[in-house]
Amino acid sequence: MTSPASPADLSAWGAPQQPRGAALLTDPLLNKGTAFTERERDVLGLRGLLPPRVFTLDEQVQRSLAAVHRKPDSLEKYIYLTNLQNRNEVLFYRLVMDNIEEMVPLIYTPTVGQACLEYGAIYRRPRGLFLSLRDRGHLADILSQWPHQVRLIVVTDGERILGLGDLGALGMGIPVGKLSLYTACAGVHPSYTLPITLDVGTDNQELLEGPAYIGLRRKRARGEEYDSFIEELVQAVSMVFPKALLQWEDFGNTNAFRLLTQYRSRLLSFNDDIQGTAAVALAGVIAGLRLTGGTLRDQRLLFLGAGEAGTGIADLYVEAARSEGLNEAEARARCWFVDSKGLVVKAREADLAHHKLPYAHDHPFIATLDEAVRTLKPTALIGVSGMPQTFTQPIVEQMAAFNPRPMVFALSNPTSKAECTAEQAYQWSDGRAIFASGSPFAEVEFKGRRHVPGQGNNIYIFPGVGLGALAAESREVTDAMFLAAARTLAGMVAQGDLELGRVYPALTQIREVSLRIATAVAEEAHAKGLAQAARPDDLMADIRARMFRPVYREYA
């Protein structure tokens, strides 16, 4: 690890004025709890404030893991982990990183969804900033009060939290969780990160009427009132944290596309629901091609659901197919959408949302997915509709009738919303489907063969993309960077995984995945003249050296 004193070091920021005694124990970035040594206890005025026995970090991790296991349910485990994070970040991240497969579902989906629903009840102490419409005119002042030099912001307005809809100010669990993943998976130093929840009201009547709701009790701002608030935020971030990357998170459909288009070249920013999802799904397709033997150029993708996820994936596919020689029209012609009203076609143009228009082809209207599959004969069927059990037996059987290895991606979350289960996909395709899902499914034994479903979790993409953009001090996060991320991820799927049908690497490899993606993203920034940092000779070694690792500093 490089010296934390290096100003270029991503783990260097927040180097504190040294607090002592009780104040030291309440600073989560500095606190070592029972791991303070005898000498540190003397020098730092900690005698008597801690129980006598000195523990190692490893011993603390074991004790904390046992405490997690003692909690009766996922929400209680989440609360325990949140409290640990607020008490001792090194210990929290060591625990999470050493047990990543067990911890990710606790600190992020699916548990974070339940935590958001109950955020009003379980709220203990602030983490991040709540910026409400009442703060208009003062956003820059409020950001200036934040005690660290921020490089990474995740912001939500709570309108479309996971599959749960409008949760208003309760959405805070999402930016908090995503930023924890940035640190655990890509080594962005915790002091660099700032979760923000914009409280612009909520249209969730139950929350507005409930006694425990923590946000403004008013309907959502729309139009000019909303837009000027966002504009003030963007200006404030640019002014107070000019090197920060901002991730738009869980905004409603109409605002998400608009804000991304409007701000992506003005402010270093991206939208994970659109672009991160696109990259992880495309990576699954690219890895799947290693099994089918096909090329991106000759795919026909049929999407169920034409929202942020679906059109984001298609847009990135178009970028990828263009890089393989197709022109834009040819690439778009390979993407088809069925939304809640049927096949997206030219005849429906007058009623279609803006983001669907590029995929409204000149083709007779088809009312059902079943019929669309029979007519269009897609190579991949991608579910991003939030509608469970819509990939029925006849549909999957059709896919298997004209594809030796059909790709069936049921990406809707949570598990209960998946378009079909892993077991159904394997059974109905006679074990030939290449299946991926948004939420985890257990492996399936079918006709004596083991099938391991891939989980197309955005966690494979956004931490690495963010780290790469920060390391290069890129001016922009481009689609080409997401494409580089998708290709890197697909290239990291081991042959052994592919043979089991798994199109994503194991989560235990996430630090290496993020590092390689970050390197590819930074490389792209340097190649396209977007990087503001000097290019080190060995880009990967340089990024690796900057990644935060949860080890205690020695004070004395």
Rounded Cα–Cα distance for residues 406 and 301 (Å):
11
In the complex, the smallest distance separating the C-beta of residue 305 from ligand NAD, rounded to whole angstroms, is 3
| C-alpha atoms less than 13 angstroms from C-alpha of 331 in its C-beta half-sphere | 18
Nearer to ligand NAD, 25 or 396 (CB): 396
* Cis geometry, peptide bond prior to residue 414 (ω within 30 degrees of 0): yes
The DSSP secondary structure of 208-260, one letter per residue, reads: HH-TT--S-SSPPP-HHHHHHHHHHHHHHHHHH-TT-EEEE-S--HHHHHHHH
- Reading the block at residue 291, the tokens are 């099994």
CA Rg value for the chain? 24
Nearer to ligand NAD, 89 or 250 (CB): 250
Which residue lies nearest ligand NAD, judged by its C-beta?
A: 307
Nearer to ligand NAD, 406 or 414 (CB): 414
Annotated catalytic residue 93 = no
Question: Hey, CA dihedral for 275, 277, 341, 386, is it positive or negative?
Answer: negative
Strand order in the sheet with 129-132: 129-132, 193-199, 152-156, 245-248, 269-271
Question: Hey, CA dihedral for 198, 201, 202, 206, is it positive or negative?
Answer: positive
Q: Which of 126, 109, 373 is nearest to 249 (CA)?
A: 109
In the complex, the smallest distance separating the C-beta of residue 322 from ligand NAD, rounded to whole angstroms, is 23
Among the listed residues 93, 108, 192, 213, the single catalytic one is: 108
Nearer to ligand NAD, 264 or 546 (CB): 264
In the complex, the smallest distance separating the C-beta of residue 131 from ligand NAD, rounded to whole angstroms, is 23
Nearer to ligand NAD, 319 or 419 (CB): 419
* Residue 74 near residue 118, CB atoms below 8 Å: no
In the block, which residue shows the tokens 């819509």?
Answer: 390
Nearer to ligand NAD, 196 or 280 (CB): 280
**Helix, strand or coil, per DSSP, at residue 3:** coil
Nearer to ligand NAD, 308 or 473 (CB): 308
Query: Which residues are at the interface with ligand NAD (CB under 6 A)?
Result: 163, 253, 273, 277, 280, 304-310, 338-340, 384-387, 411-413, 417, 438, 456-458
The number of angstroms, rounded, from the C-alpha of 198 to the middle of its chain's C-alpha atoms is 19
Nearer to ligand NAD, 46 or 343 (CB): 343
Q: List all residues 6 or more positions away from 170 whose beta carbon is below 8 Å from its beta carbon.
A: 116, 117, 119, 120, 158, 161, 207, 213, 214, 215
Annotated catalytic residue 178 = yes
* Residue 429 near residue 396, CB atoms below 8 Å: yes
In the complex, the smallest distance separating the C-beta of residue 9 from ligand NAD, rounded to whole angstroms, is 31
In the complex, the smallest distance separating the C-beta of residue 281 from ligand NAD, rounded to whole angstroms, is 7
> Which runs of E-coded beta strand occur in 23-166?
129-132, 152-156
In the complex, the smallest distance separating the C-beta of residue 412 from ligand NAD, rounded to whole angstroms, is 3
In the complex, the smallest distance separating the C-beta of residue 413 from ligand NAD, rounded to whole angstroms, is 3
* Residue 169 near residue 215, CB atoms below 8 Å: yes
Among the listed residues 32, 77, 178, 417, the single catalytic one is: 178
In the complex, the smallest distance separating the C-beta of residue 202 from ligand NAD, rounded to whole angstroms, is 17
The residues assigned a catalytic role are 108, 178
